[in-house]
């Protein structure tokens, strides 16, 4: 299968490039400058010339706090850009996979969120991603929207890399302990996306494979618990570590409100697509091995 991935510098796109050979997929990453979501008139022509069996949109404006000051910029990428890409996929006659987020929920439910739970984003970033979901659904029926959360990887910027960087200079780090979610390896997510892509291409008439699905790491943790596990594994591997000082959300105010409960119920994905991502703790150590090895030169 020939997959086009939009957003070539992001964690998920880079993970998909790395995992492409495992899935016998020809994967092309596209992004600026050759494809700019800010120039929608050129997108369909570029994608048609590129060709492909399926398009994955992994491009996103992800600066959650900055989005509060520039909601228009977030919507241009996460909403208008996503809708334009989905419309191009429809014109090309190919399926479209859109990545979305736990931030479409307000985090007030006492259980993991299911796909049919009411959406109520708390900030500009979440609103822009919800508008993107709606734009994709309006542009093409042949779509899958994958809501995910708390992505980490050896690539780009993420919580795991931030913790290692901070621990190199500090003995103690304050981490929020009352927000709970599903840490998700970008490499596991890439494997899951390839699985969904294959299902869509092999079953073009199967309507139940389309729609909204949660796809996140198996298991849950607070940010403080996630950090504790990062440091426990890092210490075992000879990397940096620090003590955790648990904080409440009120102790660590940010411009954008975060959902207290970001847990995602992924039962629908497993039931319909036969895909279940690994336990997040199992995927953390391989990531840390790479990151610590890069720092130490091992």
Catalytic residues: 125
Token readout for 163 is 């913790």
Q: Is 236 exposed, middle or buried (0-12, 13-18, 19+ CB in 10 A)?
A: exposed
For 157, phi then psi, to 5°, come to -105, 135
The greatest distance separating any two alpha carbons of the chain, rounded to the nearest whole angstrom, comes to 56
User: Contact, 28 vs 3, CB < 8 A?
Assistant: yes
Tokens describing residue 271: 């039931």
Given CA atoms 245, 251, 253, 257 in this order, what sign does their dihedral have?
Answer: positive
Distance CA 209, CA 218 (A): 21
Output the CA–CA distances (angstroms, integers) from residue 81 to 37, 131, 136, in the order listed: 5, 11, 10
């Amino acid at each position: 299968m020939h997959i086009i991935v939009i957003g070539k510098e992001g964690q998920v796109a880079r993970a998909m490039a790395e995992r492409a050979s495992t899935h016998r997929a020809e994967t092309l990453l596209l992004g600026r400058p050759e494809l700019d979501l800010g120039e929608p008139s050129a997108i369909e022509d570029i994608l048609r010339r590129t060709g492909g069996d399926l398009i994955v949109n992994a491009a996103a404006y992800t600066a959650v706090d900055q989005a509060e000051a520039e909601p228009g910029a977030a919507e241009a990428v996460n909403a208008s850009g996503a809708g334009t890409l989905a419309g191009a996929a429809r014109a090309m006659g190919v399926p479209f996979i859109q990545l979305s987020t736990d931030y479409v929920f307000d985090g007030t439910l006492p259980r993991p969120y299911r796909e049919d739970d009411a959406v109520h984003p708390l900030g500009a970033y979440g609103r822009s991603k919800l508008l993107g979901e709606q734009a994709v659904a309006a542009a093409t029926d042949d779509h899958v929207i994958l809501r995910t959360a708390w992505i980490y990887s050896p690539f780009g910027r993420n919580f795991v890399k931030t913790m290692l960087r901070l621990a190199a200079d500090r003995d103690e780090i304050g981490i929020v302990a009352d927000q709970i979610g599903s840490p998700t390896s970008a490499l596991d997510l890439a494997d899951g996306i390839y699985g969904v892509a294959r299902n869509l291409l092999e079953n073009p008439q199967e309507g139940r494979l389309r729609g909204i699905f949660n796809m996140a790491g198996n298991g849950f943790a607070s940010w403080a618990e996630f950090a504790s596990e990062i440091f426990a594994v890092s210490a075992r591997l000879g990397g940096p570590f620090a003590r955790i000082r648990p904080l409440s959300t009120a102790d660590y105010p940010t411009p954008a409100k975060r959902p207290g409960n970001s847990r995602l119920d992924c039962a629908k994905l497993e039931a319909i697509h036969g895909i279940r991502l690994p336990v997040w703790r199992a995927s953390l150590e391989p990531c840390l091995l790479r990151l610590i090895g890069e720092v130490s030169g091992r």
